[in-house]
Amino acid sequence: MNTRTERRFRRLLWAYPRSYRDHRGAEILTTLMEMAEDGRRPGFHLVLSGLRQRFKLPARRPLAWVAAVLAAAVLGGFGAAAGTWIAWRTASGIPSDREVQALNATLTGIPGGAPLYHETSAQQGPSVAIQADGTADWSASRIRDGLTGAGWRITSFRESEGRIVPGEDMTVSVPVKYGMWTATSGELMLYGDARVVTGSPFTDWASYNIRVWPVEPAVLRPLAMGGTVAGLLAGWLLVAAFARRRLATALAAAGVAAATLPAYRFYREAYEVMTSAHASPYPPYTVDGSHGGMLTLICAVAGLLAIVAAAIVVRPRLADRAGVVPAGVPAPRSQAS
Amino acid sequence: MSAGVVSLGMQEPTFLILTALAAEPIHGYGVIRAVEQLSQGQVVLRPGTLYGALDRLTEQGFVEVDREEAVDGRLRRYYRLTDSGAAALTAQVQRLRRNADAAAARLRLAFGGAL
């Protein structure tokens, strides 16, 4: 039997975890080669058996099972966040701050830099908003022409009139013009509204709000879901890989436990990604942000460090890799033939 | 390959692997061939199934490594039945025999014949 066949069988054995190959690989290879000499070829079943072995946890080790379930749950959350993040990389980029400022000046007629707000939608997509307050008249044609000139296609435009009370004196009200419009440009969406006072003593006192965001990419939900599943599997596999050493299992369990808080946050965000109708920043994203990004980062880093420590503990030692006798199996009586 | 349950707690491949090892220590491919012969070709173990079963039986203390040999530069590991494995197989044989006898008796009552 040639070495090509042996190389092929060795590749099939890569489906098994390295620790398993260390103590059973040579033996299984012998069996495969002897079967091949009789014309029997291992099929996909061997690969499936190897993959199944990767998920196997040691019996009578409740901590390993608890750690595996916890790790799967936590990494599922991280996987959802990663999938969502990757999906948004495929979306159209929002205009630069300079472009938004220029568009704002064109539409509103209010010169100067207005404050910009970069926010995240419920679906975790980006958006940029600009709030311009100043003195400008109401001109529907200026807004329409400005949008069209900048490459936007207007999808709705409404005007209405009303009155507002501009000061503390509730008996004085002034007429006001309201405007609201939406537009698209490629994969970008735009929403704008305006409130312009049209009567003295505050004539042409204007407040404009414009917001731009990308349409959610088609892969957003599939990648969020796929990331969750990948994270679940990765979490289980991680603990399964560490489970042969109790210290490594304990460290991995501590690591994923530390990352529980960010995982919870990621799951809530994933829920919004899956259930929100679209990527519009309206209604505003209302998830409790009391545990902010810094805490999330600290927890994630602490968890990662614990898992790295577990990996160091469980890393194969040269002496271990040289041997072929698994733990728990009596030392064999060797003989050469 | 038949995966029929011989009785609660021991599946047919497991029963046949223990049976194969009952007579003498055998290596991996030897077990596969012995099981095929014992089952008259009804059970053909695949390597993944065999080593999964050997892992489990080793953990349960029914099987242990007897010796290792190097044949043409390849590692052969021989397995043998432990006392505990022999006891489990004996109990299984008695259970199967009892059940088979009971089934045969009922069939004779209902249908006659030579069972």
How far B102 CA lies from chain A's nearest CA (Å)?
36
Q: How far is the first Cα of chain A from the last one, in angstroms, to the nearest whole number?
A: 19
A130 CB-near residues (< 8 Å, 6+ apart):
A100, A101, A104, A114, A115, A116, A117, A208, A209, A210, A211
* Residue B3 in this model has a pLDDT that exceeds 80: no
Radius of gyration of chain B (CA): 16
Cβ contact, residue pair A31, B32, below 8 Å: yes
The mean pLDDT values, 10 residues at a time, for chain A of 337 residues are 83 91 91 89 87 88 88 93 93 88 88 84 88 87 92 93 75 85 92 86 83 91 95 92 81 82 87 79 55 73 81 65 42 40
Q: Measure the CA–CA gap between A57 and A241, rounded to whole angstroms.
A: 9
- Supply the DSSP string of chain B, one letter for each residue: ----EEETTEEHHHHHHHHHHHHS-EEHHHHHHHHHHHTTTS----HHHHHHHHHHHHHHTSEEEEEEEEETTEEEEEEEE-HHHHHHHHHHHHHHHHHHHHHHHHHHHHH-S--
Cβ contact, residue pair B48, A329, below 8 Å: no
On chain B, the residues whose CB falls within 8 A of the CB of A30 are 27-29, 71, 74-76
Q: In this prediction, what percent of chain B has a pLDDT beyond 90?
A: 76
Interface contact A50, partner B, CB < 8 A: yes
Cβ contact, residue pair A330, B65, below 8 Å: yes
- Who among A27, A48, A328 is closest to B75 (CB)? A27
Q: Domain ranges in chain A?
A: 1-56, 60-91+218-315, 97-214
- Best interface-test mutation with A: which of B65, B72, B84 has the largest number of A CBs within 10 A? B65
All domains of chain B in start order, with CATH: 5-111 (1.10.10.10)
Q: Which pLDDT does position B114 carry in this prediction?
A: 61
Who wins on pLDDT, B44 or A292?
B44
pLDDT tens string A302-330: 878 888 887 887 776 544 554 444 433 34
Q: Which pLDDT does position B9 carry in this prediction?
A: 60
Reduce the secondary structure of chain A to three states and give it as a string: CCHHHHHHHHHHHCCCCHHHHHHHHHHHHHHHHHHHHCCCCCCHHHHHHHHHHHHCCCCCCHHHHHHHHHHHHHHHHHHHHHHHHHHHHCCCCCCCHHHHHHHHHHHHCCCCCCCEEEEECCCCCEEEEEEEEEECCCCHHHHHHHHHHCCCEEEEEEEEEEEECCCCCCCCCEEEEEEEEEEEECCEEEEEEEEEECCCCCCCEEEEEEEEEECCCCCHHHHHHHHHHHHHHHHHHHHHHHCCCHHHHHHHHHHHHHCHHHHHHHHHHHHHHHHCCCCCCCCCCCCCCCCCHHHHHHHHHHHHHHHHHHHHHHCCCHHHHHCCCCCCCCCCEEEEC
Q: Which pLDDT does position B4 carry in this prediction?
A: 45
Cα angle at A161 between A159 and A162, to 5 degrees? 145
Query: In terms of Cα–Cα distance, which of A182, A184, A185 is closest to A193?
Result: A182
pLDDT tens string B5-43: 444 468 899 999 999 999 999 999 999 999 999 999 999
Q: Measure the CA–CA gap between A211 and A125, rounded to whole angstroms.
A: 13
The residue written with tokens 């060797």 in the block is A334
Q: Which pLDDT does position A284 carry in this prediction?
A: 57
Cβ contact, residue pair B69, A335, below 8 Å: yes
Q: Which pLDDT does position A275 carry in this prediction?
A: 84
pLDDT tens string A216-266: 899 999 999 999 999 999 999 988 888 877 888 888 888 888 888 888 888
Cα angle at A79 between A73 and A82, to 5 degrees? 150
Write the burial class of residue A139 (CB in 10 Å: 0-12 exposed, 13-18 middle, 19+ buried).
middle
Contacting A with CB below 8 Å, chain B residues are: 27-29, 32, 46-52, 58-59, 64-71, 74-77
pLDDT tens string A92-105: 888 898 899 999 88
On chain B, the residues whose CB falls within 8 A of the CB of A334 are 67-69
* Residue B48 in this model has a pLDDT that exceeds 60: yes
